[in-house]
Structure 1
Amino acid sequence: MKAAHGAPGSHKQPGALRTIGEVSALLGLRQHVLRYWETQFPMLQPVKRSGSRRYYRPEDIALLRRIDDLVHREGYTLRGASQLLEQDASGGEAQRLSNSSEDSGLNSDDSMRKTLSKIREKLRSALEAG
């Protein structure tokens, strides 16, 4: 009889690759959602091995958490979240936020949170007006 180990993949080293089932359980997201997000977020590219089996690296899991936060907690559409992540990856918005946070003495998380709140308010206003 197998001993219970808690969450799937919890017995693995922190940097180990995780299967889609393990990531699904870890993040509380269905596997079909993870597969769909791959089609919507070009920067999400888990390693694929034999039989197109997906293996997620720690950075893939961090990106999935960010997508989940943007979509399910911040209210972004998939397209909006993808655009924001692409801006971050290109360094444009991230660099601007970094510079402004250094100037004001705020850490980048505070600066990002304030910027996202402003964007959310603008979107809310636009939706109410239109």
Structure 2
Amino acid sequence: MTDGKSEGAFLTIGELSAELGVPQHILRYWETRFPQLRPLTRAGNRRYYRPEDVALARRIHQALTNDGFTIKGVQKLLAGGGGAPVVPAAKLTEVKAKTPSMSPDVLASLTKIRDQLAAALTA
């Protein structure tokens, strides 16, 4: 939590941005993509994130950065549709390196299936 503030305190966009390690414009972008994320706005459009907004922003950040979800996937996840994570290409390279004696045909087939699934998720 931000230094000097209690657990239930409202956070400004700058404080939340620093806590999550993302720029402020990313938080404003998330507000346009996730209708559940609605901070209070005061005079001059100053944003104040309630504890539930902070928890939601943390969940979005976790899903996007650590769980491999896309924006669309997180939207489905938050809407209750589940959403499937997208496996980054770097992770697939690690899996290929650890996979013992897989025939090139099987590997090509699995790669094709992965690409089809990724295309279906983005459609």
Give the shorter-chain TM-score range. Answer: 0.5 to 0.7
Match of residue 15 from structure 1: 8
Task: Name the counterpart of 1:37.
Answer: 30
Amino acid at match of 2:55: A
Corresponding residue to 1:87 among 69, 77, 80: 80
Report the Cα offset of residue 76 of structure 1: 1.0
Structure 1 spans left out of the alignment, 5+ residues: 1-6, 94-115
Which of the numbers 23, 39, 46 marks the counterpart of 2:39?
46
Provide the aligned C-alpha RMSD in A.
2.6
Count, aligned residues: 94
Matches for 1:95-110 after TM superposition, within 5 Å = none
What does residue 70 of structure 2 align with? 77
- Alignment identity in percent? 46
Structure 2 vs 1, CA of residues 78 and 11 (structure 1 numbering), >3 Å: closer, same or farther? same
Report the secondary structure of 1:48's partner residue.
Answer: strand
Higher CA-based Rg: 2
Code of the residue aligned with 2:115 in structure 1: it is E
Residue ranges of structure 2 left out of the alignment (5+ in a row): 93-109, 118-123
Instruction: Determine helix, strand or coil for the equivalent of 1:54.
Output: strand
Measured after TM superposition, the shift of residue 128 of structure 1 is: 3.2
Q: Which has the higher helix share?
A: 1
Question: Given residue 35 of structure 2, which amino acid in structure 1 is its aligned partner?
Answer: P
TM-score, length basis structure 2: 0.66
Q: Distance in 2 between matches of 1:67 and 1:121?
A: 15
What secondary structure, in the 3-state scheme, does the structure 2 residue paired with 1:43 have?
A: coil
Distance 1:121 1:49, change over 3 A: closer
1:42-99 per-position Cα deviation (integer Å, ceiling 9, x unaligned): 00000111111100111111111110111111111101101110117xxxx6xxxxxx
